[in-house]
Chain A
Amino acid sequence: MISLTSDVRTPFHTLPAGPKLLGLCLFTFAVFFLESIGGALAVTGLVGLSYLAGGVRFAFQGLRLMRPVFWVALIILAYHLAVGETAPGLVVALRLVAAVGLANLVTMTTRLDDMLAVVERLLTRVGMPQRTRHRIALAIALVIRFTPVLAEKGGALNEAWRARSVKRPGWRLVLPFALLAIDDADRVAEALKARGGEI
């Protein structure tokens, strides 16, 4: 499955994942207290510049990821213009773009295994027993493996419907779709048990 990590190498890729995530938490918290347009503009500009530091292609990838957020920001702005509160509206929209922008930057420059390593370290530190951690790791691996499998089976169901009906497939497909997932879960559970079980 394709993750959102960018294939363009940037200086941010080499930073360790833990501090990046901690920095993001602090930043998201701090951005919330921005009240002035100047401050909000400066912070958002800084986030934009960090994207450019990764090169033009990287910046465009980032823009694509941000598209839904820009729409929301535009709607917020339009609403505030309509009720005549332009300045606060601009601050709210910029805050949103800055917070989501930096979060996406961290996602785009941190590989999935590095993220998983941070989670593993955190869970160890809060004293989660090893057995539980192993079960979480197995569950994560199963989801990553089975999402494309289920999506493919859903596609097959869709085709089977279309071969038999002129109507568009609708919610009726969700029932057999869920049934496929349940039966897969049963089979995987049996396979795990057969290979030693007790995870």
Chain B
Amino acid sequence: MERNLTMIALFAALIAALGLIPKFTLASGVPISAQSLGIMLCGTVLGAKRGALAVLLFLGLVALGLPLLAGGRGGLGVFGGVTVGYLIGFPVAAFVTGLLAQVWRDRGGWILPAVAALVGGVVVLNILGIVGMAVKLDKTLAEATLLATPFIPGDILKCVLAGLITQGLQKARPGLLQA
């Protein structure tokens, strides 16, 4: 019981801390915000329910006025901005990622958690984010999709990283994913 609560809280803190460290740039020059990697890891490591709760906790603290989003943003204003669809999508993305990761849990490897992160953290997240942008900007869905496209290659790389990191965590702490 206690461990569920502390894992949820510490992963919410992990998402926040990942937003504080500077962005890292891959060899291809695509900058990666580590924060969305944190969202994917919530799903692949904590599973659907705990992962979504960790993300909700993180967003709740952002709404209360703590500057925890990447770049020190926060407060109620971010929920009125263009990216509100992505913020609403974060817990859903963690939930879907977690659901798939739980189903594929016993098979090991890095590919399955990466695919789970791809479905939840890229496909589902972008659908909600793009709808949000279309509504906020009075644009058609096609135009909003165009705005999101430049970020997709970086997102796909992040899925691979999420898969590799999940596999690494499982090796380092064998009991982790069974809990």
Chain B proximity mask over A99-126: 1 for CB below 8 Å, otherwise 0: 1111110111010100110010000000
CB distance from B143 to the nearest CB of A (A): 9
Partner of B161, one of A4, A96, A142, A174: A174
Residues of B19-78 contacting chain A, CB below 8 A: 20-21, 24, 26, 32, 34, 37, 41, 45, 57-58, 60-61, 64-68, 71, 73-78
Cα of A186 to Cα of B111 in the assembled complex, Å:
27
Residue B106, interface by CB 8 Å: no
CB distance from B101 to the nearest CB of A (A): 14
Docked-complex contact B77 and A189, CB < 8 angstroms? no
Q: A116-B64, A169-B24, A175-B169 are in contact. Are A184 and B10 (CB under 8 A)?
A: yes
Partner of B21, one of A66, A138, A143, A151: A151
CB distance from B156 to the nearest CB of A (A): 14
Cα of A102 to Cα of B76 in the assembled complex, Å:
9
Residue A164, interface by CB 8 Å: no
Partner of B65, one of A5, A158, A186, A193: A5
Docked-complex contact B82 and A96, CB < 8 angstroms? yes
Question: DSSP class of A's interface residues: helix, strand, loop or mixed?
Answer: helix
10 tightest A-B CB contacts, nearest first: A107-B75, A142-B9, A103-B76, A150-B17, A99-B80, A185-B10, A104-B77, A189-B3, A146-B13, A103-B77
Partner of B61, one of A69, A106, A140: A140
Residue B81, interface by CB 8 Å: yes
Partner of B67, one of A4, A68, A158: A4
Residue A22, interface by CB 8 Å: no
Cα of A185 to Cα of B71 in the assembled complex, Å:
26
Residue A163, interface by CB 8 Å: no
Cα of A177 to Cα of B20 in the assembled complex, Å:
13
CB distance from A66 to the nearest CB of B (A): 8
Residues from chain B with a CB closer than 8 A to the CB of A147 are: 13, 16-17, 20, 68
